[in-house]
Amino acid sequence: MTLALRTGAAVLGETGPYALDDDIIRFYRDLLRPYGDEVDEELARQGRNVPFVDLAERALAATPDPVASPDLLILAYALPDLHPLKTVASHLNHGFGDTSRSFAVSEQGLAAPFTALRVANAYARSGRCDSLALFVLEQTTFAYREPFAHAHDLLDSGVLMVFDRTGRWTVDGLHTAPSGAATGALLRRLLPAPVAARALLVTGPWTDPADTDVTGVARHRVAPGSYCTSLWRELLRCQRDWAQRHHTLVLCDTDPRHDQTQVAILTQQTAAPPPPAREHP
């Protein structure tokens, strides 16, 4: 049996004070100089200075239902943290009582949350996991030029999704398409007519609508705003409404850096409405 989404919350970062101390500056200097680059403190001062731990703790506090210590705690991110010297997954685990298996998934772009769900479902199928706390975090302040982040107007944002055996939406499939053309073929295979009639295709802001042409399926496109959190923020915001009209959710997001598309299939397993999830400014 796979895990199912029970509750969660999404938050937007609040601008904080300049956050780089001497140890962090020294870390960045040692990291960048071998590549001919230097620390740019002024660039960091112009940012919002919202570290991962702030986003994660605010998302946890905003979750409408109590969150017990999970069997598995995963942090997924596409862009690095402002504080490179803090192990955020371990910090969060400590807050839960140091009883969870905890780690981070990174260096995969927006595929990171999908990979985290693959790992969690493997744990669940093996009988080693009945609950998951998945944090998806994104911050936008860097002490160096980060070409992708600085080329787009991204939000500081965080998502917590809590999965267990009792949630509304079961994670019934996770797929990858290597290109736009392959995305269309994959979606048409996953959404034959009987399934499409009861499904909602939710596409991320980076996905080309031309690559997701599937006959007979309702569609919802996520507004731009973030790199890897947009799709999951929208899921938490809309899941209650979607549950009234659709049996299956097909979440589809394309990484603009290399055109690879990730797809997650979520299916309702109960008629009880899920608790509301809130996005906090």
- Single out the residue of 40, 10, 8, 9 nearest to residue 157, CA to CA: 10
CATH architecture of residue range(s) 4-29+39-167: 3-Layer(aba) Sandwich (3.40)
Which residues on neighbouring strands pair with residue 147, listed in sequence order?
none
Q: For each of the chain's 281 residues, which pLDDT tens digit applies?
A: 689 999 999 999 999 999 889 999 999 999 999 998 999 999 999 999 999 999 999 999 999 998 999 999 999 999 999 998 889 999 999 999 999 999 999 999 999 999 999 999 999 999 999 999 999 999 999 999 888 988 998 999 999 999 999 999 999 999 999 988 899 999 999 999 999 999 999 999 999 999 998 989 999 999 999 999 999 999 999 999 999 999 999 999 999 998 999 999 999 986 444 444 445 44
pLDDT at 181: 82
pLDDT at 19: 83
- This prediction has a pTM of 0.93
pLDDT at 155: 94
90, 102 contact by CB (below 8 A) = yes
Residue ranges covered by each domain of the chain: 4-29+39-167, 170-280
pLDDT at 274: 45
pLDDT at 270: 63
pLDDT at 153: 86
User: What distance in Å separates the CA atoms of residue 16 and residue 54, rounded to the nearest whole number?
Assistant: 10
Using DSSP bridges, classify how beta strands 101-105 and 72-77 pair: parallel, antiparallel or unpaired. Answer: parallel
Question: In sequence order, which residues have a C-beta less than 8 Å from that of residue 139 and are 6 or more positions away?
Answer: 13, 48, 50, 51, 52, 55, 79, 81, 82, 156
Eight-class DSSP state of 155: P
- Single out the residue of 24, 51, 52, 19 nearest to residue 39, CA to CA: 24
